[in-house]
Structure 1
Amino acid sequence: MHLLGKKSSSSKPAIFLDCGIHAREWISPAFCQWFVNEALTTYGSDAQMTSLLDQMDVFVLPVFNVDGYHYTHTNNRMWRKTRSRKSGSSCIGADPNRNFDAGWCTLGASSNPCSDTYCGATPESEIEVKNVANFIRKNKSVIKAYLTIHSYSQLLLFPYSYTYDLAATHNELMSIAEGASSALRSLYGTRYTSGPGATTIYPAAGGSDDWAYDLGVKYSFTFELRDTGRYGFLLPESQIKPTCEETMLAVKYIAAYVQKNLY
């Protein structure tokens, strides 16, 4: 976990950013590393980044699902889940983005340990999920936004995914998502679709963004980065930089909005 922000004697409002919750989505950890590098190298020269880090902190978790990510480099490039073992089953791992306590194991999640969307034995059964949830709970008073980076589909999603009901702040979230998508598109013309998870991609219970939102983190968003399926999870290296550059514009848009609406 990286903590980025200008040192302050009092606690500052914060944004929590995580990448790599699904092992095979390699462009995701690449973005978190890009974000950290940009924050450190443009602080002082980029007015928006400087203002953001002066006034807020950013917690960055570059690889959420470390064991799964490692496994995609050593054994199976298309692995998605964690690598936990479950007694009584020969199948490994759970889907960490179905393991949060948000409508857990209802819509769009499986109770079959061999499924790619296995919800786990209980909510937060996965050590990675438990640790992230504990961290966010512990820092709930300062965390004002939660951003989680996935691939692929070119979507900017917000709650809910575990229900078709609209979030209480649906209109505001939609307006932020559309503004951020427009900022992203301004660089290379990449088109994103914005909307609530359940209707924009598919219903899925136990997701981190829904859980954070229900905990009280009002600005909760999921990015599905490039592309729309030509390469899918196997996005070529030549697209890493442009993907990170355009995504940065959307993240900075959301961060600026949050910063402006804190007080």
Structure 2
Amino acid sequence: TEAVKHGSFFFTHCFCIIVICLSYHPPWPLFTAIGVSFNCCSKFYPGSKAMSELETRAVTDFVRSRKDSFLCFLSIHSYGQMLLIPYGHPNYTAPNYDELMMVGQGATEAIWKVHRTNYTVGTPPDVLYPITGSATDWARMQGIPLTYIIELRDNGTYRFELPEDQIQPTCEEAYRGVLSILNNIEEERS
């Protein structure tokens, strides 16, 4: 199958890290500029300090020790049907903005072909709201060229409680989107 065919691709080429939902408790000190709340009960609480969570420290240490090996950093979340590119602050633009948008558009097209689900690609201030402290912003600042937050289904109807019958289709779409990004990297390297 295609999954098996591409399975070795992930293990023989160390160029992508996929992180599941580490946007908050970010690994860099300038993380409280915009889009955060200092109420510890808020979903926008950035933590007591940079890298305050063990999981964030583990990912940070891992990436820092191998940052020259990575070409891609993906952080997967729900919900919103978006591919978010750096940066979350409205006053900063990634130096490779055009490339990020082009690769992101390719991924959203691949996602759409699976179940005709629309995803939007852009910076958080352009398609969502300003944020600071995302793991993908930090990864881009470490020199990793392609960094994305993938906000999975849905578009707000069910929010974080996606119905069971939408879980498999969401995984199929996400797989195609990620595969599109990875294939783009492989094409650039060859």
1:55/1:262 Cα in 2 relative to 1: closer, same or farther (>3 Å)?
farther
Say yes or no: does 1:192 pair with 2:123.
no
Between Structure 1 and Structure 2, the one with more helix by share is 2
Distance 1:171 1:64 in 2: 25
Query: Residue 13 of structure 2 aligns to which amino acid in structure 1?
Result: M
Q: Which structure has the larger Rg?
A: 1
What's the TM-score, normalizing by structure 2? 0.90
The residue that corresponds to 1:52 in the other structure is: 9
Contact 1:103 1:162 in 2 (8 A): no
Say yes or no: does 1:167 pair with 2:94.
yes
SS at 2:50's partner residue? coil
TM-superposed CA distance for 1:119, in Å, is 1.4
Distance 1:64 1:199 in 2: 21
Query: Residue 146 of structure 1 aligns to which amino acid in structure 2?
Result: F
TM-superposed CA distance for 1:113, in Å, is 2.5
Contact 2:21 2:77 in 1 (8 A): no
1:64-103 to structure 2, matched below 5 A, reads: 97-101=24-28, 103=30
TM-superposed CA distance for 1:127, in Å, is 1.4
1:152/1:64 Cα in 2 relative to 1: closer, same or farther (>3 Å)?
closer
Distance 1:154 1:224 in 2: 5
The residue that corresponds to 1:218 in the other structure is: 145
Distance 2:8 2:26 in 1: 35
The residue that corresponds to 2:53 in the other structure is: 126
RMSD over aligned Cα atoms: 2.2
Structure 1 unmatched runs, 5+: 1-37, 66-95
Say yes or no: does 1:255 pair with 2:182.
yes
Compare relative contact order (CA 8 Å, sep 6+) and give the higher one, 1 or 2: 2
What's the TM-score, normalizing by structure 1? 0.66
Distance 1:160 1:198 in 2: 8
Distance 1:114 1:148 in 2: 22
TM-superposed CA distance for 1:112, in Å, is 2.9
1:102/1:254 Cα in 2 relative to 1: closer, same or farther (>3 Å)?
farther
Distance 1:119 1:212 in 2: 17
